[in-house]
Copies of this chain bind each other. A is one copy, B any other.
Amino acid sequence: MPTLRIALAQVNPTVGDLTGNSGIVRSTARAAVDAGARLVVFPEMMLTGYPVEDLVFRQSFLAASRAAIERLAADLDAGGLGDTPVAVGYLDADGPPAVNAATDPSAGPRNALAVLHRGRVAARYFKHHLPNYGVFDENRYFVPGDTLVVVRIDGIDVGLTICEDMWQTGGPFVAARRAGVGLVLTVNGSPFELHKDDTRLALVRRRAAEAGATVAYLNMVGGQDELVFDGDSVIVTAAGEVLARSPQMAEHLMIHDLDLPLGLLPPPPSEPPAPRPATGEMGGDEMGIRRVHISDPHPALPGVPVHGGHAARLSDEAEVWQALVLGLRDYVRKNGFDKVAFGLSGGIDSSVVAAIAVDALGPADVIGVSMPSRNSSAHSREDAAEMAKRTGLELRVHEIQPMVDSFLATMSLSGLALENLQARVRGVILMSISNQEGPLVLTTGNKSELSVGYSTLYGDSVGGFNPLKDVPKTLVWKLARWRNDEALRTGEEPPIPENSISKPPSAELRPGQLDTDSLPDYDELDAILLSYVDGDKGRADLVAAGHDPELVDRVVRLVDLAEYKRRQSAPGTKISIKAFGRDRRLPITNRWRETGPPGV
């Protein structure tokens, strides 16, 4: 069988940066061709970044993407790379882009994959299955394609597919079997979730078997707002063998020699696409097939075969930690910030944020602000100082009592209003530092306390990004211990003071306050939250699973009431099925309660 040396470019594009993303394609394609690659592949929507959301509706953006793909083809050719086909995801359209694809399906935007060759777009495929659940809204944005595109490269037939095409039954993989391809490319912008890597690999295997062909699965890497694309690209044979696998959470150029059958000779004529139904999508079995000839069989490659390797797999904690580091780093850098600042209380949450920030940006770009009040314990100040000493981050101290007292001189506040005042004064201090000096403010509330509304709106929720937004409290502790163990393993000083991990958590907004005054034990709380929030289970399911009914009622009521606060909080890296960002949409005004009618 002939050999195809394929390059899977697991790279990190930025949304909207057509120029920068084109540059990544050019330099990476150059490196791949220098290594002898005969086909170079880039992720879904490589040119525009992903997801571009409502930018799709701006005609000037769509036009810019279409112009940029043509320019990229020309530039690759001018740079001497024109003979190597390069597959690049981008935003395209049939005819002039429609303002609203929902009302004019014939002319709407397309999630497209181009094969660039000899200075032009030699083939283009439009994504067929459009995901419209969780974080995805693609029925809003794109018109589905109805034709599988098969390109013949070095005499080998290669089917093109994009992301969701693999997650739904029917469609392109069925058509690929019918077309008798030797290889299916699937390019992705597939966001990280804990344990999703296992699901994905099983699915790649299943589709490879269905198509009767090797599948080359390429995923993007990097952070984009709340999403982290985790890479983890893989090549799997029709028999399910993993030939090579790229690392998680890191950029990587995988180059691998694939032995693949030659396509039938001569290439059969294109089958016409089936007629388009009046509205909506069509089933996969009716997909047409379009064949494009790129290049004839190629002489055998010289030298020893190149193997793409098997990157080591990360443990669950390592995977989450690296996702949080990558998500924060890219949010900061891609938004044009250099530094971050946040309240460093010496508690577990802000300490873990500090460690993540130092890993993401280096200690010189991390400002921890200790803002003690008269309710702050001595160990809070000490633990914050110890954290700074261990990591080298910049520590500042602002006592908040004078500002708190200045409000109390004109307003009579008590209870929750007084507790919140302290958190809000801290928010004002952090935003003043941000406005005066430029760092991005991080907020540090974990998913458990955000879920039940245990935070102060415009207080500790102040900030542009929250690394722990999707991390339950019990996982915060696990991550802290894992990070410290990792440091010991590599001979470094553990970054997080032991006392920050072991002391009972407290908001320190009134004397002697503990989280357990207001909240259940975090083990119990997180177990209920996992079912109720991530799993969409109802009260009855939770009770049936063995949780105490009164506790369930209490937690569920808190969660239902906390929705508004969560909406107002900063974006944060998503690591679970249901974070509190774009993939969760609930009405604010809503009187339905799991636990019965709301009280007056």
Q: Which residues of A contact B (CB under 8 A)?
A: 14-20, 48-49, 51-55, 57-61, 63-64, 99-103, 131-133, 137, 139-140, 168, 170, 223-225, 277-285, 330-331, 334-336, 398-399, 402-403, 405-407, 409-414, 416-417, 420-421, 424-425, 427-429, 431-433, 435-436, 457-458, 462, 464, 536-541, 564, 568, 570-571, 582, 584-594, 597-598, 600
Chain B proximity of A584: nearest CB distance (Å): 6
Q: Which DSSP category, helix, strand, loop or mixed, fits chain A's interface?
A: loop
Name A399's closest neighbour in chain B (CB-CB).
B410
Report whether A335 and B589 are in contact in the complex, using a CB–CB cutoff of 8 Å: yes
B52, B224, B571, B591: the one contacting A16 at CB < 8 Å is: B591
- A100: which of B133, B420, B538, B586 is its contact (CB, 8 Å)? B133
Task: Find the residue from A63, A591, A592 having the highest chain B CB count within 10 A.
Answer: A592
Contacting residues, chain B, for A224 (C-beta < 8 A)? 587, 589
Q: Is the CB of A432 within 8 A of B417?
A: yes
Residues on B with beta carbons closer than 8 Å to the beta carbon of A278: 170, 282-285
Chain B residues, CB < 8 A from A414: 436
Question: Is there contact, CB below 8 Å, between A406 and B413?
Answer: no
* CB–CB A16/B587 < 8 A: yes
Within 8 Å by CB of A588, from B60, B225, B538, lies B225
Which of A61, A409, A412 has its CB near the most chain B CB atoms (within 10 A)? A61
Q: Is the CB of B540 within 8 A of A60?
A: yes
Chain B CB count within 10 A is highest, among A15, A331, A412, for A15
Inter-chain contact B587/A51, CB cutoff 8 Å:
yes
Q: Are A15 and B592 in contact (CB under 8 A)?
A: yes
* Shortest Cβ gap from A228 to chain B (Å): 12
In the complex, the answer to whether B14 meets A591 with C-beta atoms within 8 Å is yes
Separation of A424 and B428 alpha carbons in the complex (Å): 7
B residues in contact with A18, CB < 8 Å: 592
What are 11 A-B interface contacts by the 8 Å CB criterion?
A54-B586, A60-B594, A99-B536, A103-B133, A139-B139, A279-B282, A331-B589, A407-B429, A421-B428, A458-B462, A464-B564
Q: Could you tell me the distance in whole angstroms from the C-beta of A434 to the nearest C-beta in chain B? A: 8
Query: Using Cβ atoms and an 8 Å threshold, which residues of chain B touch A54?
Result: 584-586
Once bound together, how far apart are the Cα atoms of A399 and B409, in whole Å? Answer: 11
A98 shortest CB reach to chain B, Å: 11
Question: A417 and B402 in contact (CB under 8 A), knowing A55-B590, A458-B458?
Answer: no
The CA of A223 and the CA of B588, in the complex, are separated in Å by 12
On whether the beta carbons of A587 and B428 are closer than 8 Å, the reply is: no
- Give the CA-CA distance A537 to B429 in the complex, in Å: 39
Which of A14, A100, A282, A435 has most B Cβ within 10 Å? A435
When chains A and B are docked, how far (Å) is the Cα of A427 from the Cα of B462?
A: 12
- Report the bound CA distance from A335 to B462 in whole Å: 24
Chain B min CB distance to A409 (Å): 7
- Which of A131, A139, A224, A464 has the largest number of chain B CB atoms within 10 A? A139
Q: Which of A431, A538, A570, A587 has the most CB of B within 10 A?
A: A587
Q: Which residues of B contact A594 (CB under 8 A)?
A: 58, 60
| Contact of A589 with B15 in the complex, beta carbons under 8 Å | yes
